[in-house]
Chain A
Amino acid sequence: MAVLLMETPVSEIAPRRIARESQLGLMWRRFRQHRLALISLWVVVFFYAVAILAEFLSPTDPSAYNARYTYAPPQGIHFFDRNEDGSWYFGPFVYGYKTEIDPVALRRTFVIDEEVRLPVRFFAESAPYRLAGLIPMSTRFIGLENPRDPFYILGADRLGRDLLSRLIHGTRISLSIGLAGVTLSLFFGIVIGGFAGFYGGRFDGVVMRVVEFIRSMPTIPLWLGLAAALPRDWSALQTYFAITIILSLIGWTELARVVRGRFLSLRTEDFVTAAQLDGASDWRIVTRHMVPSFTSHIIAAATLAIPGMILAETALSFLGLGLQAPIVSWGTLLQDAQNIRTLATAPWLLMPGLCVIVVILALNFLGDGLRDAADPHGR
């Protein structure tokens, strides 16, 4: 048996990295491994960005109607075309329409007119507006050279309003209602669940009974009753906030449960005992020691709560008890679309439904990913 004499020194075995990483940092590292969740994160970010930049991104004003283009089908956006002389045209553009009115059947018929090519301009000039009601601007992301030309990438509704623009503005309302509802739920959930979990005992018992009670109520009748009770002369904004509060009345219970559970298990952890022995106040223990240790869980739980809020908003609008026209939300847009006529002749008006599905999917995947990342060893 030959003995190999090695010149090289014993290779140092790298000690395991024990770098101190914040919990959020750890969570982020684990989260990045979830490909679907990561994609979903971008989808959600995209939609929220759209919500924030609604005025800038929408090609037209969402309430700008045009008699000539009621129920105009989507133009789509094209990039290549062959010119008459056979050369190629590059760049984004849409085709015009040829329209006819059928007075017997009461409708306009549209044919995409491939003769008319309407180039799409980026950062097109438009009438001045205020972005998010604050920043004065006078350009929009895309637009046509001549603002009077039809520009309906996703088609038009029954008044010839641009569906894309309405969709973009609806995104703002629907997503913010979800976010606002969750924020409110989160506040109640953390405060109530936190105290229940921290002090335990009788207070905890009472809170948990209340939570169980609320969760045993069927939500729609509850919402219906409350929504029917809203003063009808409230302005759109008031209704909007009222609906948000109604939605979070039930939403907080789930978050309170999560928070309470974490508190209960954290209460016995050594670092909390240590802080208590050090004489830290309860408030300090909760805010400085306990809350940061489960921020990640709260983020995950909150993410998973948003879809429910969005779906609830659409359902209430559908029943005519939530937001109402002229407010543009995904719910009111779907309410417009929920008839046989739309299904049969203008299916593109169901686009808001697709948005709902995509966002709900993304939020669910994102929430799942966050939860897994926050708590890799199961729940």
Chain B
Amino acid sequence: MNKTQCFKAAGAVAIVAMLTAAGPALGAGQSPMLDALVQSGEIPPLEERLPANPLVLDAESIGQYGGTWRMGMNGGGDNGLIAKTVAYEGLVRFDREWQTVIPNLAESWEANAEATEYTFKLREGVKWSDGAPFTSADIAFTVEMYQDPEYAASSWIDNINNPATVEVIDDLTFKFKFNRPNGMLMDEMASVNGIHITSLQKAYCSQFHPSYNENAAADAEAAGFSSWALHLQDRCAWGWETIRFANPDLPTLYAWVLDQPLTANASRVTWKRNPYYWKVDSEGNQLPYIDRLDMRVSQGGVEELTLAALNGEIDFQERHIATNVNKPLFFDGQEQGGYHLGAVIPSASNTLVFQLNFSHDDPVKRELFQNRDFRIGISHAIDREEIVDLVFTGQGEPYQVAPRPQSPFYDEELAKQYTEFNPELAIEHLEAAGLTEMNGDGVRLMSDGQPVRITVDVISALRPEWIDILEIMQLQLAAVGVEIELNNIDRTLFYEKRPSNDYDAQVWAGDGGLEVVQEPRYYFPFSDESVWAYRWAQWFNGTRPEIAEEPADWAQEQMELYRQIRSSSDPDERADLMRQILAITKEQFPVIGVSLMPDSYSIIRNNLRNAPETMFNAWLFPTPAPMDPVTWYFE
């Protein structure tokens, strides 16, 4: 045990001591909803339910118990909302500024210098929602399940390149071991993906696995499942998977437990407080303040949800309804609906990333798309001011795919290079790329005499503004002799076209504006989402060796730098390495951005306290959960 840990443990003891000393005057209260349950003996008194050193959350103000937080889900598959509100309870978490990793269920941890071994110490006395203690055995069981191929889960735990193994030291101490350095583990664990590891209780879930229960197969059949694996997946789904929230019997560590589960038929999903929740406010009152959650499930259209929000039937939400288009509507409806608008800063850097396929099957197009001058030419041909004005009502600014101004990696040159609208310059670059000839329709000809015609795949269902932007770009690019054709397709096909290499270009939003290190898909060929260099990314990840292609030298250099990031456990060193990667990105200019993703807004009921007036919006940093909704309350 090192010094920090000792200090932390001592601090916790001190708090507990203070609480016991101060008695009821200092709070140490619980929701009136639980009083009766304690009296009837259904649950033990508060002291026995809370851990020895509960996690203390400082909020703006001490709240009062009660109330229901109403929000809305879009369709039955919207597990994301739950992940972002209820289920963000990993071993560690991010602070509110998304800067550092702080304790959550684990009260301390340490890593070896090679970043291959991580030792965690769990908070003592934390209980599952059924009252059973949360121990290292649950962690070991979860790792075992994830690595069982019959259990269809997928996470960093069973990452085929670097799977985790676990060594249990005692009830509260365990060690993750990796074959290769895993310097970014803590960031991963603090992200939304960190909740996988705390999602299965051994006592409950082991009954469905034949290693622990020889009747598992028979039980599964009796329950109507064709295999124990399906039964296990149904009862004990992983992480934040949709069906996880369909089983109210599954013990969890969340602040609220399922009341009406998320079934295919649910028209609302409701939650009530977990009597064993292990966080308290600064006065020692058990959190959360809000007794219940009510998530209405819309059946595929968000219009009803929009009306509900306008009508004051939503307490806090930004997901689904806070669109650009709806802003005037919500702005005008504030008085009638009794809510106001909070600021939301997106994590994405860009509204649209134009990705040309560097590994195109046609050698002429491959060469052209890899030509930096061609991309610069296109970039200069886009009148970004006009797009910002038109599609985003002036919100945002011309921007490339680069870290957002709020990010420590912000680099003005990277963000702003080639964003100037300058058709002459564009033509100059296009001609430098060898596009000097034109056909009768004013379209430039490639080296094989074919006109430059780029088919752009887009999913308008996901973000309707993409079509708008592309329609404008279509006209702007036509003016410099480049023809793009819009191909509005469905999501499945969009993904299927990547491995089959059946695309000229695809567009997506610019992830990685804030989560620069975790999500560098546009800075170098990092993952399957690096559509511009899909086959290079396969080379980097080794997932589909049959289609992998050796990347250009500069990309290989970036990959090497990223490997170093992964093997470093020093945050400063990692940041420095990342800056080197970004410098190469700036030089190579692989993808074309349009404009900075404009700020969004949240809808906050006027009587809701402690809710953030400003927050980030990201998936890895699953807001609003890191803003501690357990400390919010109704006045």
Contact = CB atoms under 8 A, between A and B. Distances in A.
Q: Do chains A and B make direct contact within the complex (CB under 8 angstroms)?
A: yes
B325 A324 contact: no
A233 B493 contact: yes
Given A159-B468, A233-B493, A67 B331 contact: no
A108 B393 contact: yes
Nearest to A161: B471
Given A326-B486, A326-B488, 20 more contacts: A65-B390, A65-B471, A67-B389, A67-B390, A70-B393, A103-B393, A104-B331, A105-B327, A106-B331, A107-B327, A108-B393, A159-B390, A159-B468, A159-B471, A324-B488, A325-B460, A338-B303, A339-B325, A341-B328, A344-B329
A106 B486 contact: no
Contacts of B486: 326
Contact of A340 (B307, B461, B489): B307
Given A101-B394, A324-B460, A106 B468 contact: no
B393 A326 contact: no
B389 to A, nearest CB: 4
Given A105-B332, A341-B329, A158 B468 contact: yes
Nearest to A318: B301
Contact of A345 (B328, B490, B497): B328
B564 interface: no
A232 interface: yes
Interface string A327-368: 000000000001111001100000000000000000000000
8 contacts: A67-B386, A67-B390, A70-B393, A105-B327, A105-B331, A106-B328, A107-B327, A326-B486
Contacts of A341: 325-326, 328-329
A104 to B, nearest CB: 7
Most buried by B among A101, A104, A341: A341
Nearest to B393: A106
Interface residues of B toward A: which range? 35 or more
A320 interface: yes
A160 B390 contact: yes
A23 interface: no
A276 interface: no
A325 B493 contact: no
A230 B418 CA distance: 40
Contacts of A160: 390
A219 interface: no
A63 interface: yes
A378 to B, nearest CB: 44
Nearest to A69: B390
Nearest to B457: A233
Contacts of A233: 487, 489, 493, 497, 502
Contacts of B471: 63, 65, 159, 325-326
* Those 7 A-B pairs whose CB atoms lie nearest each other, nearest first: A105-B331, A67-B390, A106-B327, A107-B328, A232-B493, A67-B389, A232-B489
Contacts of B395: 103, 106
A267 to B, nearest CB: 49
A111 to B, nearest CB: 16
Contacts of A104: 331
B324 interface: yes
Contacts of A339: 303, 306, 325-326
A63 B476 CA distance: 12
A359 B36 CA distance: 65
Contacts of A106: 324, 327-328, 331, 393, 395
Contacts of B386: 67
B10 interface: no
B364 to A, nearest CB: 21
A340 B328 CA distance: 11
Interface string A67-105: 110100000000000000000000000000000011111
Contacts of A65: 390, 471-472
A74 B325 CA distance: 19
A320 B394 CA distance: 29
Interface residues of A toward B: which range? 20 to 34
A330 B303 CA distance: 20
B445 interface: no
B290 interface: no
Nearest to B309: A340
Contacts of B502: 233
Interface string B461-487: 100000110011001000000000011
B475 A105 contact: no
B9 to A, nearest CB: 49
Contacts of B332: 105, 344
A340 B460 contact: no
Interface in B92-149: none
Given A232-B489, A233-B493, A339-B306, A105 B468 contact: no
Contacts of A107: 327-328, 393
A184 B55 CA distance: 70
A340 B329 CA distance: 8
A232 B461 CA distance: 13
Interface string B286-325: 0000000000000000010011001000000000000011
A336 to B, nearest CB: 8
B327 A325 contact: no
Contacts of A63: 471, 475
Contact of A325 (B389, B467, B489): B467
Contacts of B487: 233
Contacts of A101: 393-394
Nearest to B601: A106
A340 B394 contact: no
Contacts of A345: 328-329
B452 interface: no
B335 to A, nearest CB: 13
Interface in B37-86: none
B467 A70 contact: no
B327 A159 contact: no
Contacts of B28: none
Contacts of B394: 101, 103
B608 interface: no
Contacts of B306: 339-340
Most buried by B among A108, A326, A338: A326
B391 interface: yes
Contact of A320 (B329, B461, B467, B468): B461
A325 B459 CA distance: 11
Nearest to A158: B325
A345 B490 CA distance: 30
A334 to B, nearest CB: 13
Contacts of A340: 303, 306-307, 310, 326, 329
Interface string A99-133: 00111111110000000000000000000000000
B219 to A, nearest CB: 36
A324 B459 CA distance: 11
Contacts of B328: 102, 105-107, 341, 345
